[in-house]
């Protein structure tokens, strides 16, 4: 199959077209792959590659001048990524009668922000539901699609159909959230941090009435340990007084001890 060579580029017709752009005619050469266009030396506004066998829209070198590409009657089914990097001034792309099938096949054209005129007639993709609105949404700067000017009404329809949707508001949680305003129970009353005045008085009385050094030391040890003695037990088989230690308040009990 013939290739797009530098020699073919050099021998191709070159002329000023009807819109006063400098154009090179590479039509009808049965070319299958776009290549070697660096041989044009970036001297053309328009390149006509119609009536060939090209399957992929790719293979362009950096062509800063090129504004229009005519690719009617080829077999293009794929558009390469990064087309805008090679063709920074591309305004017109004619792809009439090719093999573009799905809306997703047009995704890569969305990055060509200079594109203003696009024709996709006689491609299967034009029969997809909402095709025109989809393209208008994807390439918002387009002015003409399929030789038909894009109206403001169509832009509004495309925005309604494909515009960004507001994210759904999160549902309010029914679980407890710390810091949230809720009915709360009143705080419990503060607990006493030490013995009450009554207990202190009775402790002092117990120490004052202790009959022996051992009993005093026992009371002091319990107080240092944080315990409030109830009844302090001291067995005095000789004096007849019997006291008992238990938890809670401090009480002194006297009972007769049999001789």
- Quick check: 142 and 114 in contact, CB under 8 A? no
pLDDT tens-digit series, residues 49-104: 999 999 999 999 999 999 999 999 999 999 999 999 999 999 999 999 999 999 99
List the structure tokens of 203.
């402790």
pLDDT tens-digit series, residues 141-200: 999 999 999 999 999 999 998 876 544 455 554 554 555 555 555 665 655 555 566 665
- Quick check: 12 and 25 in contact, CB under 8 A? yes
List the structure tokens of 11.
């021998």
Separation between Cα atoms, residue 26 and residue 3, nearest integer Å: 11
Average pLDDT rounded to a whole number, residues 211-232: 60
- Quick check: 232 and 207 in contact, CB under 8 A? no
CA distances in angstroms from 155 to 133, 144, 149, 166, 255, listed in the order given: 8, 12, 11, 19, 107
List the structure tokens of 158.
């495309």
Indicate the domain borders of the chain: 6-162, 197-243
- Would the pTM of this model clear 0.85, i.e. be above it? no
Considering the domain 6-162 in this protein, what is its CATH number? 3.80.10.10
User: Cβ atoms within 10 A of the Cβ of 16, count?
Assistant: 11
């Amino acid at each position: 199959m013939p290739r797009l060579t530098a020699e073919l580029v050099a021998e191709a017709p070159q002329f000023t077209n009807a819109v006063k752009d400098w154009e090179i005619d590479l039509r009808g050469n049965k070319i299958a792959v776009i290549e070697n266009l660096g041989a044009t030396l970036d001297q053309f506004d328009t390149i006509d590659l119609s009536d060939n066998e090209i399957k992929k829209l790719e293979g362009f070198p950096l062509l800063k001048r090129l504004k229009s590409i005519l690719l009617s009657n080829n077999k293009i089914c794929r558009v390469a990524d990064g087309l805008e990097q090679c063709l920074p001034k591309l305004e017109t792309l004619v792809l009439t009668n090719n093999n573009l099938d799905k809306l997703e096949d047009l995704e890569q054209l969305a990055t060509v922000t200079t594109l203003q005129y696009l024709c996709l007639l006689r491609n299967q993709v034009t029969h997809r539901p909402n095709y025109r609105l989809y393209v208008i949404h994807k390439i918002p700067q387009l002015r003409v699609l399929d030789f038909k000017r894009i109206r403001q009404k169509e832009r509004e329809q495309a925005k309604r159909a494909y515009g960004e949707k507001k994210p759904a508001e999160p549902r309010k949680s029914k679980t407890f959230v710390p810091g949230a305003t809720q009915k709360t129970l009143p705080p419990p009353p503060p607990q006493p941090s030490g013995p009450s005045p009554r207990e202190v008085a009775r402790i002092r009385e117990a120490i004052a009435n202790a009959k022996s050094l051992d009993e005093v030391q026992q009371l002091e040890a319990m107080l240092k340990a944080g315990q409030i003695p109830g009844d302090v037990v001291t067995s005095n088989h000789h004096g007849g007084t019997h006291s008992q230690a238990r938890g809670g308040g401090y009480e002194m009990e006297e009972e007769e001890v049999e001789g």
